[in-house]
Structure 1
Amino acid sequence: MKAVQFSEHGDRDVIEYGEFSDPDPGRNEVVVDIKAGALNHLDIWTRRGLPGVELEMPHIPGSDAAGIVTDVGPDVDRFDVGDRVAVSAGVSCGRCEFCRDGDPTLCIRYGIIGEHQRGVHAEYATVPEANLVSVPDHVDWEIAGSASLVFQTAWRMLIDRGSLNAGESVLVLGASGGVGHAAVQIAAHAGAEVYATASTDEKLEYAKACGADHVINYERTDFASEISDRTGRRGVDMVVDHIGEATYPDSLKSLAKGGRIVTCGATTGPHPGAGLNRIFWNQLSVIGSTMATPGQADEVLELVWDGTFTPRIRETLPMSEAADAHALLENREGFGKVVVIPDSEY
């Protein structure tokens, strides 16, 4: 088979699309004929090299994909050959206290397919059956292959960890990205008043189409000052911040008293000032969130499959052009997800 792969960390020129050994399923694994997959920013960080993460080389990236089951291991009982499936990338041990208590996102062995182990941007991929969800017949492959990671991440952030209620106000930073545009849709669906930031007017129009009530071009104005002005100096109840160092101080400033930041990442760096004086004086909460439990993933993906939520797809490319797909994310071009398809399917 052919697969997107790299044998060393580096810039986009380390990415190749070439021959790779055909996969065989283990006892609890399924082989999937990949029809479409999507990129996430973690693919960029993985390619560049993450501190403390040692990869088996060559590494196949990709945490999002969907396709058809072609083979199953002897202990697989949830899927059969011919089933339509999508990847749910969070990996847990299934045995520790957190797994037993129903929250495997806190598992001591928690990792992500494509980030900590070989991913799914290939013609075929071997995936543990626990990391697959069923896809209805009417769902397009590009939708099925691009929804899982960002929508389950945003759902857990807002609904589970953030306990978002109807009538509250939410600021979503980076609304043009995968998690951002999912968060806008989920917040609007929950009945919140949604503020969204992006870097161009075109992206802001897309954010409005996703459900944002108010939009802010952060290249032209300071979003914390804008939030203060638009809310009568009150602030918002929740900030969705996956950007980190560059935005965290202004995220704190944007909160109403008793408000909360929910974060799932730190793409601009993990070491902002703590802002403890503002946190204790205004009684703020800073809440971390990662991926979702299987139940949470199933809940939000049902809303994708029925059309309530839709991953916006900015570009679809053959896997042989994976380096160009990485460039679209790195250069912050467009709104929504970048999809790659095996050249044999393109």
Structure 2
Amino acid sequence: MKAVYVTSFEQPSCRLEVRDNVPKPEVGPDTVLVKIKAAGINSIDKRIMGGQFFHLPVKPPFTPGLDGAGVVVEVGSDVTRFKPQDRVYAHSKKMGHFAEYVSLREVEVRHLPTEISFEQGAVLAIPYLTAYRAIVNRGKAKKGETILIHGASGPVGLACCQIARSLDLRVLGTASTAEGQQLVKENGADLVFNHKSPDHITQILDASDGKGVDLIVETNSSLNLQGDIKMSAKGGRILVIGNGPGQLQGSLAGLMPKEINIVGVGLVSATQDNHNEAYTFIESGVKAGSLVPVVGRQYDLDDTTEAIENLGKPKTTLGKPIIAMS
């Protein structure tokens, strides 16, 4: 089979290698062998490939890729939930999805809803699990509250928009391009703001009648936290799913008078029960049509280096990029 390997933690052009004639993974008693049709590309992949995500300690060489979708080709003797030809999607901390085949523990695999394609299935796991954990598990969102989603045109942002809308929240989003703003509106946002506009904080406060927003999904807390504090309502929750480069700017004194909570969000801390709860919600939403994964740019396996280098670049963050297998 063909598979991508991280060969070193050096520069992107040096560290990725696509290898042919790699042996297929072996199937153990409790594992499922999946032929990958599409693999998800997540922002965290760049940090993992650079050796900068210490919660998943790996050493080269290894095959990256945290999630994907495909078809079951073989199951272990103890597997009861799957059979060959089943359509599935999956998320695994052991990675391995940037390959034509991957062996996964049965508990890591889910049946792919018939309503969506393999390409959409590759969008489903990491973004929607993250969004659910942020809004529901950690944010404790309540019907009628207002949520602000930074970077709402990206994969996690769009998942947040859709989940928030399905929970009857008032949804505000930010995006820096006209295309991104339109996409955010199409995926459930009531109002969208350009976070590059110098007065976007005032605009958002005006949209909340000066009360501020109840929840904020934050992707770059080191840069935006001061603005988040200004925009938060009393008792607001700032849900940090990303930090970004640089050091924290400014003072945290504004937290105290409004008793704002800064809440860390990380899938690495979620239990299997947390995942099962989220998957049940996500799959129900997909079947109902309220959650519709948005596929971004598609790459071939041979273009993985380009795909990783493009993460975060303007006009490459509309939806979730994927690797589509031939």
Pairing 1:1-346 to 2, within 5 Å after superposition = 1-13=1-13, 14-19=15-20, 20-50=22-52, 52=54, 53-89=56-92, 112-114=93-95, 119-268=96-245, 271-272=247-248, 275-291=251-267, 292-334=274-316, 335-342=318-325, 345=326
User: For 1:18 and 1:62, how far apart are their aligned partners in 2?
Assistant: 15
Percent of aligned positions that are identical: 29
- 1:97 aligned partner: none
User: For 2:266 and 2:218, how far apart are their aligned partners in 1?
Assistant: 13
**Cα distance, 1:305 vs. partner?**
4.1
Q: Give the secondary structure class of the aligned counterpart of 2:103.
A: strand
Q: Give the secondary structure class of the aligned counterpart of 2:233.
A: strand
User: For 1:259 and 1:152, how far apart are their aligned partners in 2?
Assistant: 22
Aligned length: 316
User: For 1:132 and 1:333, how far apart are their aligned partners in 2?
Assistant: 32
1:41-94 CA distances to partner (integer Å, 9 max, x unpaired)? 0111111221545424222111120111112222222222222111033xxxxx
User: For 1:5 and 1:305, how far apart are their aligned partners in 2?
Assistant: 35
Instruction: Letter of the 1:169 partner, please give it.
Output: T
Instruction: Letter of the 1:134 partner, please give it.
Output: H
Contact map agreement 2:223 2:249 (CA 8 A) in 1: no
Moved over 3 A (4+): 51-54, 273-276
1:259-309 CA distances to partner (integer Å, 9 max, x unpaired)? 11112232335x526854222221111222223422222221331244321
Contact map agreement 1:68 1:81 (CA 8 A) in 2: yes
User: For 2:185 and 2:242, how far apart are their aligned partners in 1?
Assistant: 24
TM-score by length of 2: 0.90
User: For 1:252 and 1:336, how far apart are their aligned partners in 2?
Assistant: 28
Q: Give the secondary structure class of the aligned counterpart of 1:220.
A: coil
Contact map agreement 2:113 2:286 (CA 8 A) in 1: no
TM-score by length of 1: 0.85
Contact map agreement 1:148 1:301 (CA 8 A) in 2: no
Contact map agreement 2:3 2:63 (CA 8 A) in 1: yes
Kindly tell me: are residues 125 and 317 of structure 1, through their superposed partners in 2, closer, same or farther at Cα, counting changes over 3 Å? same
Q: Give the secondary structure class of the aligned counterpart of 1:77.
A: coil
Contact map agreement 1:152 1:301 (CA 8 A) in 2: no
Kindly tell me: are residues 306 and 142 of structure 1, through their superposed partners in 2, closer, same or farther at Cα, counting changes over 3 Å? farther
User: For 2:112 and 2:187, how far apart are their aligned partners in 1?
Assistant: 23
1:72-124 CA distances to partner (integer Å, 9 max, x unpaired)? 222222222222111033xxxxxxxxxxxxxxxxxxxxxx233xxxx211100
18-27 or 209-218, larger mean C-alpha shift: 18-27
- Stretches of structure 1 that go unaligned for 5 or more consecutive residues are 90-111
Q: Give the secondary structure class of the aligned counterpart of 1:147.
A: helix
256-265 or 303-312, larger mean C-alpha shift: 303-312
Contact map agreement 2:73 2:84 (CA 8 A) in 1: yes
Kindly tell me: are residues 76 and 315 of structure 1, through their superposed partners in 2, closer, same or farther at Cα, counting changes over 3 Å? same
- Stretches of structure 2 that go unaligned for 5 or more consecutive residues are 268-273
Contact map agreement 1:197 1:223 (CA 8 A) in 2: no
Contact map agreement 1:234 1:256 (CA 8 A) in 2: yes
